[in-house]
């Protein structure tokens, strides 16, 4: 489909498509850079101490539940990529205007999920870190979150390229958007105990807008009022 667009010089769609791609890239870039800097303050000492603590939590009765194939598997794993996590408040989804891109809606979760890799660089597990009241990074969760597992089991992502993990806590949902390293297009998936929506990107819409519109439809069917 992309080849046909390139060869057809009379196709008026090429200009808006290029504009969409450029706008999405520039919208994500400052967000990615500013949030990416924060995770670098996670020191190697933080990471190794957390891995040691994780190891002490593993025994013969729980290693499978924690996501390992054996009680000793963690010994052979190495620290991998740090993934910053974000969230969107449900009010912003309900009031979504259908055009704003995700960077305009995201809030910081002050959370980073750090992958644990085997010898083939495959993600096996993860440790989640959050900042305490003093602004210091502390391990807050041992084992991959549901959203992180959805990402790591997605064969189309393959642990490459820029990625944004986004939680929607009020709806018990999440999604991730990543840039394909081959096509350079953004792709995304909506997650709720399985993949619900969005595999490839239509040429006329970005994946964040598609996902946000779908979430808005679902949010409008939910009564978020608490019983008083």
79-108 residue pLDDT tens: 998 888 888 888 999 999 887 777 778 877
Q: What is the pLDDT of residues 192-206, one digit of tens each?
A: 644 444 444 433 456
Bridge partners of residue 174, in order along the sequence: 167, 191
What is the four-CA torsion angle of 143, 145, 146, 152, rounded to 10 degrees? Answer: -80
Q: The pTM is what?
A: 0.70
The CA-atom distances, in angstroms, between 34 and each of 5, 30, 108, 167 are: 35, 6, 11, 19
Q: Which helix (H) or strand (E) holds 141?
A: strand 137-142
Q: How many CA atoms lie within 13 A of 125 on its CB side?
A: 23
Share of the chain above pLDDT 70, in %: 67
Q: In whole angstroms, give the CA distance from residue 117 to residue 168.
A: 27
């Amino acid at each position: 489909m992309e080849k046909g667009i390139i060869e057809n010089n009379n196709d008026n769609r090429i200009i808006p498509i290029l504009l969409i791609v450029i706008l999405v890239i520039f919208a994500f870039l400052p967000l990615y850079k500013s949030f990416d800097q924060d995770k670098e303050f996670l020191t190697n000492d933080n990471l190794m101490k957390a891995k040691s603590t994780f190891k002490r939590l593993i025994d013969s009765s729980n290693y499978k539940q924690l996501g390992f194939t054996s009680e000793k598997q963690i010994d052979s794993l190495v620290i991998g990529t740090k993934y910053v996590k974000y969230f969107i408040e449900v009010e912003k989804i309900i009031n979504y205007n259908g055009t704003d891109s995700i960077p305009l809606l995201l809030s910081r979760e002050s959370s980073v999920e750090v992958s644990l890799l085997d010898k083939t660089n495959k993600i096996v597990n993860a440790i989640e870190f959050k900042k305490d009241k003093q602004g210091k990074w502390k391990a807050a969760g041992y084992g991959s979150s549901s959203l992180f597992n959805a990402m790591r089991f997605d064969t189309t992502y393959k642990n490459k390229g820029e990625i944004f993990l986004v939680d929607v806590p009020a709806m018990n949902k999440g999604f991730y958007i990543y840039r394909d390293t081959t096509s350079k297009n953004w792709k995304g998936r909506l997650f709720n105990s399985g993949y619900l929506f969005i595999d490839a990107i239509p040429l006329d819409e970005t994946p964040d807008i598609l996902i946000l519109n779908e979430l808005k439809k679902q949010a409008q069917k939910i009564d978020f009022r608490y019983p008083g």
